[in-house]
A and B are shown apart, each in its own frame.
Chain A
Amino acid sequence: MNDVILSRIAEALTWTGRYVERADATARILDAYLHRMLEDPWRDEDVACRSLYAILGLDAGGAPVDMQQVLDQLAFDARSTGAIEGALGAARLNARSAREAVSSAMWECLNATWHALADQRRAARRTGPYAYLELVRSRAALFFGLADSTMSRDDSWRFVVLGRSLERVDMTVRLLSVRVLDAAHAPDWPTLLSASGADEAYARVYGGFGDTPRVAEFLLLDRDFPRSALHALTTAEECLSALGRPRQDPARRPIGRLRTRLEYLDTSALEDQLPLLLRDLQTACMASAEAVAERFFPYQGPVVWAQEGA
């Protein structure tokens, strides 16, 4: 009987996918940075922390920033959906309001994670954030694994995957943007690769030597690596296409255009085009997300109050 899906539920599912992906990506980025900072004796903590803020699109303020502040604001802040805890909390609330559409196993995963965070947060203050970040990453993996194995491949599933894919493109673009546009605060390539969870996959393809064009090429254009922008865009486009193919599709158009552009990009020109390309990717994701909202989750405006019939 569940052949259709309520607009409200579709929206909640999209956001659930998005927020879990965001928590996962944020945890990975924080972990990569922390690791890097401990291993690099010449590193300036303030600069590194600022580049983290830049990646996550948050304002670092004027005063010097240290790692504890970073964790408080980017990991432990339950009120900000830009922080891990806030994102997971929002994912849980969204899943809760779509309780009959997500499987019980998925809901329990998010709910149990949410309840486990407080303990891990307290432990992190004593023993460092590694276990906390690890919990977030493993539970996010569990969540998507459960989605993969417990959800039918129907529209509900597609909205979860769509949300995750759009968030993925967004996060990858943010990582690259800091490197490309803001060299002063830039993370080095190994950090960037491990923040994307791409270090091992990259090493297998390119043999472990990083330079700007190659890493950018991998993170943007690799067909096989699931967190590359091209792969995530292709997945998002497939979801949108399966959700219905109207003649004019403002949700799929920006994604499809970018995907084709990436597919046929002349890689030798990549370095020059990079700033423009990253900007276009970000714009396309935003335009698509807006069009998705407009088409599938129409604003539920004030009801018509005139009484009809008897």
Chain B
Amino acid sequence: MADIFDAYALADAWDEMFERRGATNTVRTAYEPVLAALQPIEPGELRFRADQMARSFTDRGVTYAFAGEERPWPLDLVPRIIDAVEWDFVQRGVGQRVRALEAYLADAYGPCRAFEDRVVPWRLLLGSPHFHRAAHGVEPPGGVRIHVAGIDLVRDEAGDFRVLEDNVRVPSGVSYVIENRRAMTRVFPSLFDGQHVVPVDGYAQRLLAALRAAAPERTADPRVVVLTPGPGNAAYFEHALLARLMGVQLVEGHDLVCRGNRVWMRTTRGEVPVHVVYRRLDDDFLDPLHFRPDSVIGCPGILSAATAGNVTLANAVGNGIADDKLLYTYVPDLIRYYLGEEPILPNVESYRPDEPGQLEAVLDQIDQLVVKPVDGAGGQGIVIGPKADAKTLERTRRAVAADPRGFVAQRPVALSTSPTLTGERMAPRHIDLRPFAVNDGDEIWVLPGGLTRVALQEAT
């Protein structure tokens, strides 16, 4: 009988589920139960379960905004398995990374030792659009600026995890980790049976504990709120889920009012003080008095209240200097410098065009590199050399030559692949992994599980 893994052709990348042994594919040990559960299922039945899941997502409002439409969250039926040994490694690597970035932020908005010691050049700080003077000299409660981090990992051709990007501003996606797990245990209980899968539902309690710990000192019973741009935001589902799981108010900018350098929220019983704002707005929109004056989703005066130490913003304002793509290239050095440790998770090999000698190297082999604008969010402005046409390459070459500080270049990594249901059969698709870390000041806790994103176009 033909099964859904027939004709599963491995791409030129590490596959999460199968390894090539001669002419055949052999399932990896950790995936044996997954194969055992999926193989007997008729292709049509699998499709049916997938549709059932999409319906359940639509009904429950687990959707994302796409071109102004509410679409059900697409979740592939094949789970991503990471065994305990490997996860331990990921977890330590992510924790180490966040510790180093916290140290860097404290340093950059404080004594600036790393710059004096020439570990990181001054221009990196002074030239960053995310550097905020308002954050300078502010000592956050517990020393925490990165309450929540999302560190993007990829697995390279050899099967090694590497960091692709750090997100320490407003990382999103954790709600989908929680919802995906919930959906999978319902649609496919047999996959979990007896597999000792570590639960992910403790996230909200950890987050709330960290947020309460971040409250300004002398606050006996701190009030935490989640600040959202509103139902129109693509991540509104996540904001609402977190608020609900934590049992705190989900506020919009106009629900808050600042007076006397304190923040209050408007309730049916009058104005009530707020102590910790888990804000899901970018710095630019947070406070029209300091940043974009046209922002209507922010709260005027909130930054002054934070600077005065009367309210804690999580994550802190100005964290953008720690996750731009140029600083990324320095993180291994920062780990050695601040922590005296060797990096557990390596970076992807990178070039800094603004350093002597490197610009020429980048321009020469631009057709073999991935070029990223330093300040681009997500995938914006990224040029993948081997896939770009001559015109794009020429334009990129000129852009990099004109502004070497504005770009980094990386070796293209063939991201690992995972079996993905396409139509009624399985095909390899490239994936990444975003683990989430919560810092309460004493401990950096990594959620045991992460968000795996799938590139739906065919793997090469």
Asked if A100 and B301 make an inter-chain contact with CB atoms under 8 angstroms apart, the answer reads: no
Q: Which of A2-10, A124-132, A259-267 is the interface stretch?
A: A2-10
Question: Contact size class for B?
Answer: 35 or more
Asked if B223 and A1 make an inter-chain contact with CB atoms under 8 angstroms apart, the answer reads: yes
Near A by CB (< 8 A), chain B positions 225-281 give: 226, 230-231, 236, 240, 243-244, 247-252, 254-255, 257-261, 265-269, 272
Q: Does A205 contact B (CB under 8 A)?
A: no
CB neighbours (8 Å) of B248 from chain A are 1-2, 100
Nearest chain A residue, comparing its CB with the CB of B304:
A309
Mostly, the B contact residues are: mixed
For the A-B complex, the count of residue pairs with Cβ-Cβ distances under 8 Å equals 101
Interface residues of A (CB under 8 A from B): 1-2, 4-10, 93, 96-97, 99-100, 104, 107-108, 111-112, 115, 155, 159, 243-244, 296-298, 300, 303-305, 307-310
CB neighbours (8 Å) of B244 from chain A are 99-100, 104
Q: Does B59 contact A (CB under 8 A)?
A: yes
**A4 touching B260 in the complex, CB below 8 Å, given contacts A99-B240, A111-B60, A111-B61:** no
CB neighbours (8 Å) of B257 from chain A are 303
Least Cβ distance of A292 to chain B in Å? 10
**A2 touching B259 in the complex, CB below 8 Å, given contacts A7-B268, A96-B61, A111-B59:** no
Q: A7-B268, A96-B231, A309-B260 given. 12 additional CB < 8 A pairs?
A: A4-B269, A6-B255, A96-B240, A97-B230, A97-B231, A100-B240, A107-B60, A108-B60, A115-B58, A297-B268, A305-B289, A308-B258
Least Cβ distance of B134 to chain A in Å? 9
Asked if B59 and A10 make an inter-chain contact with CB atoms under 8 angstroms apart, the answer reads: no
Q: Which 8 A-B pairs have the closest CB atoms?
A: A99-B240, A309-B261, A112-B59, A100-B243, A4-B267, A296-B268, A100-B244, A100-B250
Please name 16 pairs of A and B residues whose Cβ atoms are closer than 8 Å in the assembled complex, sorted by A.
A1-B224, A2-B248, A4-B267, A4-B268, A7-B268, A8-B266, A93-B231, A100-B250, A104-B244, A243-B268, A303-B254, A305-B300, A308-B260, A308-B261, A308-B304, A309-B308
Asked if B60 and A104 make an inter-chain contact with CB atoms under 8 angstroms apart, the answer reads: yes
Asked if B60 and A8 make an inter-chain contact with CB atoms under 8 angstroms apart, the answer reads: no
**Complex CA–CA separation, A10 to B266 (angstroms):** 11
CB neighbours (8 Å) of B261 from chain A are 308-310
Asked if A6 and B59 make an inter-chain contact with CB atoms under 8 angstroms apart, the answer reads: no
Q: Does B307 contact A (CB under 8 A)?
A: yes
Asked if B289 and A307 make an inter-chain contact with CB atoms under 8 angstroms apart, the answer reads: yes
